């Protein structure tokens, strides 16, 4: 888990240095034994792990904080420690690798007591970092709009995997880590649906977290298209969707997208009428698509009909501004 603040150079705006630099290893090669990678933190004895964590909780390792906790990078490891404010200095007196489904979905590796946890560390930036800077936020969103569809389907699969465990994504701007180099999204905060019951809308959640804090209209359309295409990928013939087809909220996403756009003609009444008619067509087509997909999962002979319906839905969705 990594939450930075204001490090705009993560965007790689400038050309990379053409020179290649490598470490000086001549003296190292004289040794009888070489070790290019240290022992994994989690393989160390419990007392050593706790000692390592406590030594890492210092200002230079601070990653970020939320409403309830602070997060620090653990030295020389691929992990971080999340320490709730109420834990103060009391964490580390208990140690457990007995993890619940919600722990695993939230990338927890070890529980240290008083709510403190050792978690996977993910390199990247969050949308929240650019909430107050339109210039860099536009660049950031343009970059993620160019990610391949696989990046978006992988993101959707994370949300779907959580739903399988009755967990939902807390889709705020600080809860999505984006690795621009690897073109990867990592959702980092899920909670039990029973703690805050709400309607689950995975596609809307994806679009919302990617466009939070404002987006240029042309960029938001690109992001909308990527989310839509990621959803339609799950309906491909001979493919088992990552979640119940009824959870694919295409129509809700259309309504949300339309709410973000501006009227383009002087005749607003006519434009609203056209939008409502298009929504009705989309809603009906999506309903038919879901029904066909349910049958095609069992009856593969319906694949051609399914492909035609996917194309029809896609054409309708492309009409959304």
pTM: 0.81
Condensed to tens digits (0 to 9), the pLDDT of residues 13-46 reads 433 333 333 333 333 333 343 333 457 999 999 9
Condensed to tens digits (0 to 9), the pLDDT of residues 81-131 reads 999 999 988 998 899 999 998 899 999 999 999 999 999 999 999 999 999
> What percentage of the chain reaches a pLDDT higher than 90?
71
> What percentage of the chain reaches a pLDDT higher than 70?
85
Residue 300, pLDDT > 50, answer yes
**Structure confidence at residue 10 (pLDDT):** 42
The CA-atom distances, in angstroms, between 174 and each of 75, 131, 320 are 23, 10, 28
pLDDT band at 321 (very low <50, low <70, confident <90, very high): confident
**Roughly how many angstroms between the first and final C-alpha of the chain, as a whole number?**
35
Domain range summary for the chain, segments of one domain joined by +: 40-120, 127-317
Taking CA 290 as the corner, what is the angle to CA 303 and CA 105, rounded to the nearest 5 degrees?
105
CB 144 within 8 A of CB 223: yes
> Helix H segments across the chain?
46-56, 101-105, 134-145, 149-164, 202-211, 217-233, 250-260, 268-296, 303-317
Evaluate the CA torsion angle 256, 187, 190, 60 in order and state its sign: negative
Task: Calculate mean pLDDT across residues 135-147.
Answer: 97
Higher pLDDT, 311 or 93: 311
**Structure confidence at residue 196 (pLDDT):** 77
pLDDT band at 66 (very low <50, low <70, confident <90, very high): confident
**Structure confidence at residue 279 (pLDDT):** 92
Condensed to tens digits (0 to 9), the pLDDT of residues 166-181 reads 999 999 999 999 999 9
């Amino acid at each position: 888990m990594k939450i930075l603040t204001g490090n705009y150079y993560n965007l790689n705006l400038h050309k990379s240095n053409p020179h290649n630099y490598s470490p000086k290893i001549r003296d190292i090669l004289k040794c009888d034994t070489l070790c290019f990678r240290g022992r994994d933190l989690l393989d160390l004895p419990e007392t050593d792990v706790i000692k390592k964590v406590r030594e890492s909780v210092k200002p230079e390792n601070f990653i970020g904080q939320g409403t309830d906790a602070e997060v620090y990078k653990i030295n020389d490891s691929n992990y971080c420690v999340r320490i709730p404010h109420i834990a103060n200095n009391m964490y580390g007196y208990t140690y457990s690798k007995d993890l619940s489904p919600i722990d695993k979905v939230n990338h927890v590796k070890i529980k240290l007591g008083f709510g403190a946890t050792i978690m996977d560390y993910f390199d990247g930036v969050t949308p929240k970092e650019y909430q107050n800077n339109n210039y860099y936020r536009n660049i950031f969103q343009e970059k993620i709009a160019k990610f391949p569809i696989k990046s978006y389907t992988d993101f959707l699969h994370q949300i779907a995997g959580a739903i399988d465990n009755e967990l939902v994504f807390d889709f705020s701007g600080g809860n999505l880590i984006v690795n621009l180099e690897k073109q990867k999204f990592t959702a980092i905060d899920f909670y039990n649906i029973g703690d805050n019951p709400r309607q689950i809308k995975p596609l809307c959640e994806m679009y919302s977290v990617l466009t939070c804090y404002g987006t240029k209209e042309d960029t938001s359309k690109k992001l909308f298209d990527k989310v839509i295409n990621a959803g339609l990928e799950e309906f491909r013939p001979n493919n088992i969707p990552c979640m119940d087809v009824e959870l694919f909220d295409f129509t809700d996403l259309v309504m949300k997208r339309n709410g973000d756009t501006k009227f383009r003609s002087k005749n607003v009444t006519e434009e609203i009428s056209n939008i409502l008619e298009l929504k009705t067509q989309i809603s009906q087509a999506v309903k038919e698509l879901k029904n066909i997909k349910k049958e095609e999962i069992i009856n593969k002979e319906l694949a051609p009909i399914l492909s035609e319906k996917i194309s029809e839905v896609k054409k309708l969705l492309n009409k959304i501004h």
